[in-house]
Amino acid sequence: MYTINDLYDLSHTEAADYLRQFKYPWEALAGISDMIRELGSHLDPSEYQEVTPEVWVHITAKVFPSAYLGAPCIIGPETEVRQCAFVRGSALVGRHCVIGNSCELKNVIIFDNAEVPHYNYVGDSILGWHAHMGAGSITSNIKSDRRNVVVRSGDEKIETGLRKMGAMLGDYAEVGCNAVLNPGTVVGRRASIYPTTCVRGVIPADSIVKTDGSITPRRKDS
């Protein structure tokens, strides 16, 4: 339920070749910066402008003047980076994405058509194709005791060896407004999380997490 192949259609990211090296998505977090620099060095200059050193923006992307883009960073075609967005760096943002007003990104891979449109923090995380985070929802990427993050699936515990790991959102994952994804959260494809819910562990594909923490299968017609 939590491998790269379980979560993502790799045809919808420029990081596909990079991600294929790994079994689990969190294994890719450590090398995102170097991967972006490698991709950026081979981008077509007729399609991408290097607006500042190691920050490449596609000519069809719309970046508002008040947004900040830190290096290294790639912003893909037809993507919109809205007012006061803070891209701290190490961010690969795909095509047709929305990075909304006052959102903060750090060490992330954002697949095509993903949306973080309002007041979101996304750090040390991977968001799949058409993943969506509601207003104010965040990925918490460090434990309060500062110990390494463990991914929990039922009674299984997977040691990541990472002090910082946010959330892995599968394709079409939907996160409700003001939800908090605790360190090491993995959300399966097409899973939904109710607003204001505090989530941890592995959420199965095609399921719904309710505010009381219960998990139910998604109806076939929903």
If you average pLDDT over every residue of the chain, what do you get?
96
- Burial group, residue 137, by CB count within 10 angstroms (0-12, 13-18, 19+): buried
Q: What is the pLDDT of residues 120-135, one digit of tens each?
A: 999 999 999 999 999 9
Q: What is the pLDDT of residues 17-64, one digit of tens each?
A: 999 999 999 999 999 999 999 999 999 999 999 999 999 999 999 999
Could you tell me the pTM of the whole model?
Answer: 0.96
CATH of domain 4-217: 2.160.10.10
Q: Are 97 and 113 in contact (CB under 8 A)?
A: yes
Q: What is the pLDDT of residues 72-97, one digit of tens each?
A: 999 999 999 999 999 999 999 999 99
Domain boundaries, the chain: 4-217
Secondary structure of residue 212 in the 3-state scheme: coil
Reading the block at residue 91, the tokens are: 């961010």
pLDDT of residue 222: 56
3-state helix/strand/coil string of 119-179: CCEEEEEEECCCCEECCCCEECCECCCCCCCEEEECCEEEECCCCECCEEECCCCEECCCC
